[in-house]
Chains A and B, each alone.
Chain A
């Protein structure tokens, strides 16, 4: 089908990427990008399609990561098995949370999800005998090369987007969007809104948990402040979806690419431009400027999100027609 051509070409490009680019640095960035495709798309199912905004997706991410880490630490089970389980454990955390909190609507649900994320972070910090507390969990990575991790991340990203797309284009997808648009109208059309909100949460938390378990395998180290981080995961998931396009299939993927690029752009001091200038000119002020820029990526996110919300309220994918018209001066084909 023609409408699937662009994603298929992109998938093919991503599949050959490690054969062309062998630099560990760029492979690492691409792995982060793919990880964010999974997390952003998951958040998008629950918030973008079903309208249940979550500020607590770090909970599912962290639970997935800890599932893999703890299984290895306590039972010496390979963290790759933990990866298979991570998604299910995250969904197991999600379901009772959904059962309790879905009677809450709108902002109240969002606040409850915020509490979930923060609550689980504290639990992971306090239960030192079980989780290692602030010491975190360390495991030996299975591979030295980044290429295997890259392909696993690619598989995760492709499978998560595909499964979400399948769900969205069938009955549950219609039900999710109906709930987002008007919950009472949805009930009157025979939609069990509680059931379908929980289904959406299960799908969303499952893939987020998988991403977390992959992260454990890849990074080899987690602690509560890293994987349960409000701004690094819960909020970042929201930004990824908003920039790319909330309620669109490929929006979070686009958002993930941009956010990872922006983050790296700042973190590396504009890809080392300041360090380079500093060496060339011999001026020390470039070094201190570089230091400032490195820490300014959050500011960069802030500006980016404000610009997107002002000019592309539906995100880059959601407002693609608008971009084509105004930036590329292409008239719509229809």
Chain B
């Protein structure tokens, strides 16, 4: 049994099928990329995995257990953390308090949560702003805070939703570095990303979807050469 597996995942919103029978497997320790044009169903897939809403049909397996349809807070406790594409800082709390709130998922005492939060903040390079209100962070800081908060829940599997979007080239390089560091730390990662330079350099394997359906899966170079992927991104002239 694979570490993490989604099987024939389907999500329908009214008459629209946003995700249609997507299946993939992720091995422990992998960085697994999920790509596709806008509206292809990537974030919907994340939302089903993380329990924001249940799938219409299909299954999600994590460490051999079926977990689809559970509420988001249960999924978090099982060991799956996530970040949001549109960042959701807890605005009127400091960066440290944001991460402490997340650390309470594994710690019950104030002292324990604080210590764990401080370690996580240091790991993510947020110490200089730890006393700042989350709403006053610039976008790069907010993206980093999303990661720090998710990491503070001690996930074994981390779902990263467009962590590099909106960042300048230097910031996105730093983001890539942080993601590598998280993997070295023993966390498996599934990442959605639009910036090709980022996703191609960081992923071990990539799964491409378009209109909710799988169009390719393989190593970054295999997927980049796939005619259907090129067509989805650039149009038929280039395929």
Q: Which residues of A contact B (CB under 8 A)?
A: 169-171, 174-175, 177-178, 181-182, 184-193, 247
Contacts and interface: CB of A to CB of B under 8 A. Distances in A.
A185 B84 contact: yes
Given A184-B88, A189-B153, A174 B72 contact: no
User: Which of B101, B104, B108, B110 has the largest count of A CB atoms less than 10 A from its CB?
Assistant: B101
Contacts of A192: 71, 73
Q: How large is the interface on B (under 10, 10 to 19, 20 to 34, 35 or more residues)?
A: 20 to 34
A65 B27 CA distance: 61
A190 B153 contact: yes
Interface in B54-113: 71-73, 76-77, 81-82, 84, 88-93, 97, 100-102, 104-105, 108, 110, 113
Contact of A177 (B50, B51, B76, B90): B90
User: Which of A177, A181, A182, A184 has the largest count of B CB atoms less than 10 A from its CB?
Assistant: A181
Contact of B102 (A177, A181, A184, A190): A190
A191 B105 contact: yes
B50 A181 contact: no
B90 A182 contact: yes
Interface of B: 50-52, 71-73, 76-77, 81-82, 84, 88-93, 97, 100-102, 104-105, 108, 110, 113, 149-150, 152-153
A46 B108 CA distance: 22
Task: Give the dominant DSSP class at A's interface.
Answer: helix
Contacts of B104: 171, 174-175, 190
Contacts of A188: 50, 52, 72-73, 76, 81-82, 84, 150
A177 B101 contact: yes
Contacts of A169: 110
B71 A178 contact: no
A119 B108 CA distance: 39
A189 B93 CA distance: 15
A174 B100 contact: yes
A224 to B, nearest CB: 38
23 contacts: A171-B104, A171-B110, A174-B104, A175-B101, A177-B92, A181-B93, A182-B90, A184-B84, A184-B88, A185-B84, A185-B88, A185-B89, A186-B90, A188-B52, A188-B72, A188-B150, A189-B101, A189-B102, A189-B153, A190-B76, A190-B102, A191-B105, A193-B73
